Structure 1
């Protein structure tokens, strides 16, 4: 049977980057292994659950939901036993998951609010990772969380303005407006010189809008941009 893998390619960067930044900021530890694998399987389990909410091929997606949920729950439970406070973080994210299920039920997965809810959940992976390494949630943990949200919300605005909303002039101004203030927002939330990791996002949002780029090329450029963001913030965290 063919393995069921979510098709939202951009989500992989959201899954991995905040988690890695949390490791950089809080310190790497062997405890990160079960946490990350459990986090990965939780993401994989979320996809068939949203398909079930859409009432699409329920029997098929139920099998995959169970198959992914068992290792996810097992590994995340092991992480919670090592760091019990993580359960509070998980519970706090439950409303975001309900928002995702709501939009899945409405068959409107691409809604901006749905994307933002998912971004908050993915960015919280940085909190969990930092907590697991440092044993606490301090200001730098929240720095990783907020900077990740700011970056990926910008990515959501940009990609929508280039694909689904490319003919929506009002959305263009939403995207441009957000990216103009994005560097200032990052500084307000403590970026310091790490604001340099946001500059490429603002430049590409303003200069590439309206250009005829394939979906594949847009995705590749976003991956490169995300790697630049991660590299700059990582160096910043290592030098504080």
Structure 2
């Protein structure tokens, strides 16, 4: 086995093959920074946030398969890293613990669906979306400023719609019901975005157009991902301006 092959195998063993999850991790965090500003606890917060995702992914895999020993190396790696990075955040900004009950409930939803082997269920996806979007007010609390609802709403509207849109492009391709649900949701999101601001409404209109026009077209998952990268940049700008 070559060194490069061994390295790729190690990466596959310790890094989840969930490329879309990174946008859900980073976009709300960056939106929070742009809106609330940077305070030094935001640095370990990012590490704890990423470490917590990696830890939760492998814990949920262990629950799903019932094979905890298989995922022990990943759990034993990411658990202490997450705790070590979370401690300075909690010590210096104990107000972040107000978010703990919400995360506990949402993670319990993820665990239940993992146990039932239904992690692709819509409700499970939405629970993950809310977890990610809550990072916007968490960053605000870390920066010791009052959280604003508008940036949180912009990010939440986007990721909720993305769940539906991506399903119409990949797993539910050809489903008329999902396509109608996606378009209907994006119409409602556009109406909500008009209450947030002009740029948020423009971005929401663009997201509606992609939800309306792209399903049914022969696009690969990679191409869909590239579309969402562009959408994420627009949403980040909209969130930054929505305060």
Whether these two folds match at TM > 0.5 is yes
Is 1:137 equivalent to 2:146 in the alignment?
yes
| 5+ long unaligned stretches in structure 1 | none
Matches within 5 A, 1:72-151: 72-133=82-143, 135-138=144-147, 140=148, 142-151=149-158
- Counterpart-to-counterpart distance in 2, 1:82 and 1:2: 35
**Which residue among 183, 186, 189 is the counterpart of 1:182?**
189
Corresponding residue for residue 35 of structure 2: 25
Corresponding residue for residue 219 of structure 1: 225
**Which residue among 165, 170, 191 is the counterpart of 1:158?**
165
RMSD value, Cα:
1.5
Corresponding residue for residue 233 of structure 1: 239
Alignment check: 8 A CA contact 2:155 2:235 kept: no
CA deviations on 1:42-85 (whole Å, 9 max, x unpaired) are: 01101101111112542121221121111111211210111111
Corresponding residue for residue 198 of structure 1: 204
Alignment check: 8 A CA contact 2:154 2:238 kept: no
- Counterpart-to-counterpart distance in 2, 1:157 and 1:11: 15
Alignment check: 8 A CA contact 2:41 2:88 kept: no
Is 1:39 equivalent to 2:43 in the alignment?
no
Alignment check: 8 A CA contact 1:166 1:210 kept: yes
Offset of residue 127 of structure 1: 1.3
- Counterpart-to-counterpart distance in 2, 1:171 and 1:194: 24
- Counterpart-to-counterpart distance in 2, 1:147 and 1:100: 23
Cα distance, 1:137–1:90 mapped onto 2, change above 3 Å: farther
- Counterpart-to-counterpart distance in 2, 1:199 and 1:68: 40
- Counterpart-to-counterpart distance in 1, 2:194 and 2:75: 40
SS at the partner of 1:93?
helix
TM-score, normalised to structure 2's length?
Answer: 0.90
SS at the partner of 2:17?
coil
Is 1:48 equivalent to 2:58 in the alignment?
yes
| 5+ long unaligned stretches in structure 2 | 1-8
Corresponding residue for residue 16 of structure 2: 6
Count of aligned pairs between the two proteins: 233
- Counterpart-to-counterpart distance in 2, 1:108 and 1:196: 35
Alignment check: 8 A CA contact 1:147 1:191 kept: no
Corresponding residue for residue 78 of structure 2: 68
